A and B are shown apart, each in its own frame.
Chain A
Amino acid sequence: MESVKLTIDGQEISTAKGKTVIEAAAEAGIAIPHYCYHPKLPIAGNCRMCLVEIEKMPRLQIACNTQASEGMAVQTRSSKVLEARRAVMEFLLINHPLDCPICDQAGECKLQDYYMEHDLKASRFEERKEHERKREIFGPYVVFDGERCIKCTRCVRFLQEVTHTGELAVVNRGDHSTIALFANETVDNPLSGNIVDICPVGALTDRDFRFKVRAWYLKNTPSVCPGCSTGCNITIGSYQNRIARFKPRINEEVNSHWICDEGRYCFHPLTEVERLTSPLVRQEGGLAPTDWETALQAALSGLSAATPLAGVLSGRNTNEEAFLFARLVKKLSSQAAIEAVYYERKLTEVEAILKSPDRSPNFRGAREMGASPNGGFEPLLRQLIGGKFRAAYIVGEDLLSLAPDGEKIKNALEKLSFLVVQDTRLTPTARLAHVVLPATNFAEKEGTYTNRKGRVQKLNAALVPPAGALQDWEIFARLQNKAGEKIFYQSPAEIFQAIAHEVVRYQGLSYAAIGDQGVQLSDET
């Protein structure tokens, strides 16, 4: 690739031909402040915050629209540049309501950040501020405050260029310019939440998140979205051991800068449930709480006595859990069938930008960890309904909720001589079980998922599991130990090490090397 050499703030930089000054600077670790520029959107050049001084050019130039060229000398912190930035900050703030104390963007607002860096002066504006529409509902997840808006048009461009749904436009002129919905439109496309993320100020806020937590109280944990097998990288923002929001985390190999709305809000049904805090064992009159030792012993005796055994794993279980589960089920029954739950739905064109048709984030990894070769989840379900199995061990899924076969599955499960259900809550499926084992959800565990395209990515625990629940891998390991096979793993990292030894396609991988961007399985393109 052809490259050009230039200097930015005296630092010699080499960059690919065609890159802009703002990109070249970013590569060299020099951050040029900006509002309207976004690496994934077309250049708008309207905020004027990225003005820089370029040798031999009489006027300041916007770094976002100026191509780096051979021998160019750029100043990003000259007095002329700093004064221009201060002026842009002042202009942006004269009509701004300065309502940071009640604004959800506070703490992660570029107006606040750049004001601290570039202005820090009292306002010279003594005139009446222009007023605009407040609290206008733009869509199911997005609300607009016209007074906080700086007209950078990132939202408009996102809806034009990424989703191609074009619900928003700029209307009116001058300082009455504002963002507005087209008539009879709402921003309800499947990626709508992203316009909140790219809004650099508090103009667009998330109706689900707003007023819940101040941004600076959030604990941010990098993880992977459990919504489908695309495996979008996310940051889990949590507060007081509850998830407050998902934000997309940049990964150009997976989701770029975006996540879908379904994924963004999937933590509500997955985590906001009445949790099981004690193992349950069926006795006269129903399920009764007991201690782990009793429950595990009951599960082991029951499962060993009834064969053939069906092992059903959730597509949200990690590779490490699936690895142990497969070994455990095979140990318990020589005629075991093991599958991860998998079901698809049809996607619209906009949904298909990010979503995968199936909703199991790790169906692929779970299967690669040792599902038995019986042709997938659907055939196993048919066999189960057909009465092939005498026992079942169901992890993390409410099979009864699977339309349209719920009733048939219920009948089949009732006929089993032994059923163990491991889940975070007492699901209708769990109510049929002989033993119920309280487990953890995606946000409470560490481990890896393998996405649809074969990228191994890491989950990190954002929340502490409730007392009484155990990590899924730990439950499997304890049962295995009870069954007479000594398992000494102390953590998902150690289990992954075993996977890297034993599972052919994962050979040579290291847990540490997965990092926060994941690794691609080698024979995948």
Chain B
Amino acid sequence: MEKVLLRNIDVPDSHTLAVYKSRGGYRAFEQVLRGMSPEKLIEEVKASGLRGRGGAGFPTGMKWSFVPKDSPKPKYVICNADESEPGTFKDRLLIEKDPHAVIEGTILAAYAIQSHTAFIYIRGELVFGSKVLQGAIDEAAQAGYLGKNILGSGYDLELILHRGAGAYICGEETGLLSSLEGGRGWPKVKPPFPATHGLFGCPTVVNNVETLATLPWIIDQGAARYAAIGTEKSKGTKLFSVSGHIRKPGVYEVEMGYPFKRFLEEDCGGVPNGRKLKGVIPGGSSMPVLRADELEPVRMDYESMQAAGSMLGSGGVIVMDDSTCMVQAAWNVARFYAHESCGQCTPCREGCHWMEKIFRRIESGEGEKGDLDLVLNISGNITGNTICPFGDAAAWPAAAFIKKYRAEFEAHITQKRCVVI
């Protein structure tokens, strides 16, 4: 398979402009400046079938087309580099190893909606990544890819790197906007949507790092070529961050539709130490866990994951072998969401902590009959009733762990101890 996203990362000094250009970098942007209209660019991305890689999978070209063309307000493009989903570390690799691909993608998105100010909102903890990225931005500006009258085209673009202050919720696009505006990282009630009322109330597009880093290849190689990769509805390739009980953890670029079981067993080398696979969270900690026996038909694309009762999400694959206590795993995930809930809306603020407290009680041998149904009920009462998708992200995995491993939870409650050796 030809690599789209990881094509440069093994080349020494891949983060420099010189190496990036020697590998065809900024060719796409130059080509656009030479004579591709913003409309044509949007059409091209639509035709590629590229869907957002942040987790929701919304078609990228369509997202851009919602931005009003005649708005008198400034328009903004934001690269969402606040990668914080447990089990997900793909954007970090792109930022550190191929920052110019991220920058060129951001420039292309900005050009498509004719924005003249773009931001990269990077997770505060990615200190090294932000240094690499700032270096690359400076290099790009020096080379004339950013700033006033870019390459003599008359098009201006300023790109600002902004470091977050350490909250998972700021990766949610409207939470990110509130944070970037200088406020508390609280998601905004929708409608209105960012496409019309985003940053400072102006039309805004927020795209994930991986989404943007795909764009130069699509423009350079053509939408048709990209659309030829993958499945009917899930086009192209996708990065997966593989961690946990697996022989070869790391970031993998996989063609959409690739068999999940084969990926784990062959590409990633399977479960080590003679252990057996117990379960996999396929799309980052917010996605429902899949049992080992459910993996056979699952393919690595949006539709197949959904059909299996989970989601592709951010592609954070967390592998758990049979030494894993699922009660502890559920509590671990619940604790994360209880800690990160922004506290703005009632169901998430109160429900996440309630679930965490119950899981903690079961894990410490104080579980009671009825606790499991109570968590399922709390999870259901959060789902769909919150301001932002965080509520679902906390509620889904909690319910999934119980539904998929109910016997183990019940054993914990009745025997008041862990039954996993």
How far apart sit A84 and B382, CA to CA, in the bound complex (Å)? 9
The residue on B at minimum CB distance from A91 is B350
How far apart sit A49 and B345, CA to CA, in the bound complex (Å)? 10
Q: Of A65, A84, A128, A172, which one neighbours B343 at CB under 8 angstroms?
A: A172
A45 near B345 with CB under 8 A, answer yes
Residues from chain B with Cβ under 8 Å of A127 in the complex: 354, 357-358, 361
Residues from chain B with Cβ under 8 Å of A172 in the complex: 343
B347 near A130 with CB under 8 A, answer no
B346 near A91 with CB under 8 A, answer yes
B346 near A46 with CB under 8 A, answer yes
A151 within 8 A of B: yes
Residues from chain B with Cβ under 8 Å of A92 in the complex: 346, 350
B343 near A177 with CB under 8 A, answer yes
A44-B189, A48-B345, A48-B346 known; A87 vs B339 contact (CB < 8 Å):
no
- Quick one: which of B131-158 are within 8 Å of A by CB? none
How far apart sit A65 and B358, CA to CA, in the bound complex (Å)? 33
Among B184, B339, B346, B351, the most chain A Cβ lie within 10 Å of the Cβ of: B346
Q: Of B184, B339, B351, which one neighbours A91 at CB under 8 angstroms?
A: B351
How far apart sit A151 and B349, CA to CA, in the bound complex (Å)? 10
- Quick one: which of B332-385 are within 8 Å of A by CB? 338-347, 349-354, 357-358, 361, 368, 374, 381, 384-385
B191 within 8 A of A: yes
B353 near A175 with CB under 8 A, answer yes
B171 CB, nearest partner CB in chain A, Å: 14
Residues from chain B with Cβ under 8 Å of A67 in the complex: 191
A60-B384, A87-B381 known; A46 vs B352 contact (CB < 8 Å):
no
A285 within 8 A of B: no
Residues from chain B with Cβ under 8 Å of A126 in the complex: 368
A43 within 8 A of B: yes
A174 near B346 with CB under 8 A, answer no
B353 near A130 with CB under 8 A, answer yes
Q: Of B184, B189, B342, B386, which one neighbours A65 at CB under 8 angstroms?
A: B189
B167 within 8 A of A: yes
Residues from chain A with Cβ under 8 Å of B268 in the complex: none
B347 near A88 with CB under 8 A, answer yes
B62 CB, nearest partner CB in chain A, Å: 20
A123 CB, nearest partner CB in chain B, Å: 11
B32 within 8 A of A: no
How far apart sit A150 and B381, CA to CA, in the bound complex (Å)? 18
A59-B384, A87-B385, A173-B342 known; A124 vs B347 contact (CB < 8 Å):
no
Residues from chain A with Cβ under 8 Å of B191 in the complex: 65, 67
Q: Of B189, B338, B340, B352, which one neighbours A45 at CB under 8 angstroms?
A: B189
- Quick one: which of A59-88 are within 8 Å of B by CB? 59-60, 62, 65, 67, 83-84, 87-88
A125 within 8 A of B: yes
B197 CB, nearest partner CB in chain A, Å: 13
A91-B381, A125-B354 known; A170 vs B189 contact (CB < 8 Å):
no
B353 near A84 with CB under 8 A, answer no
A124 near B374 with CB under 8 A, answer yes
Residues from chain B with Cβ under 8 Å of A59 in the complex: 384-385
Q: Of A46, A83, A170, which one neighbours B184 at CB under 8 angstroms?
A: A170
B371 CB, nearest partner CB in chain A, Å: 9
Which size bracket describes the interface of A in this complex? 35 or more
Residues from chain B with Cβ under 8 Å of A90 in the complex: 381
Residues from chain B with Cβ under 8 Å of A175 in the complex: 338, 341, 343, 349-350, 352-353
Q: Of A58, A84, A170, A173, which one neighbours B385 at CB under 8 angstroms?
A: A84
How far apart sit A169 and B387, CA to CA, in the bound complex (Å)? 19
The residue on B at minimum CB distance from A59 is B384
How far apart sit A172 and B339, CA to CA, in the bound complex (Å)? 10
Q: Of B189, B340, B374, which one neighbours A174 at CB under 8 angstroms?
A: B340
The residue on A at minimum CB distance from B184 is A170
How far apart sit A126 and B341, CA to CA, in the bound complex (Å)? 21
Q: Of A91, A151, A177, which one neighbours B347 at CB under 8 angstroms?
A: A91
How far apart sit A67 and B345, CA to CA, in the bound complex (Å)? 20
B354 near A151 with CB under 8 A, answer no
Residues from chain A with Cβ under 8 Å of B386 in the complex: 48
B196 CB, nearest partner CB in chain A, Å: 14
A300 within 8 A of B: no
How far apart sit A148 and B178, CA to CA, in the bound complex (Å)? 27
Q: Of B341, B342, B344, B381, which one neighbours A84 at CB under 8 angstroms?
A: B381
Residues from chain A with Cβ under 8 Å of B351 in the complex: 91
Residues from chain A with Cβ under 8 Å of B167 in the complex: 173
The residue on B at minimum CB distance from A171 is B184
B172 CB, nearest partner CB in chain A, Å: 14
B189 near A51 with CB under 8 A, answer no
How far apart sit A173 and B368, CA to CA, in the bound complex (Å)? 29
Residues from chain A with Cβ under 8 Å of B387 in the complex: 45-46
A48 near B338 with CB under 8 A, answer no
A176 near B347 with CB under 8 A, answer no
Among A62, A126, A151, the most chain B Cβ lie within 10 Å of the Cβ of: A126
A62 near B189 with CB under 8 A, answer yes
How far apart sit A172 and B167, CA to CA, in the bound complex (Å)? 11
Interface residues of A (CB under 8 A from B): 43-49, 51, 58-60, 62, 65, 67, 83-84, 87-88, 90-92, 94-95, 124-128, 130, 150-151, 169-170, 172-177
Please provide the 3 A-B residue pairs with the shortest distance between their CB atoms, ordered closest to farther: A177-B343, A45-B189, A87-B381
Q: A43-B189, A91-B381, A94-B350 are in contact. List 8 more A-B contacts (CB 8 A).
A: A46-B189, A49-B346, A65-B191, A67-B191, A91-B354, A174-B339, A175-B353, A177-B343
Could you list 19 examples of A-B contacts with CB < 8 Å? A60-B385, A65-B189, A65-B191, A87-B381, A87-B385, A88-B346, A88-B385, A91-B347, A91-B349, A94-B354, A124-B374, A126-B368, A127-B358, A151-B344, A172-B343, A173-B339, A174-B353, A175-B350, A177-B344
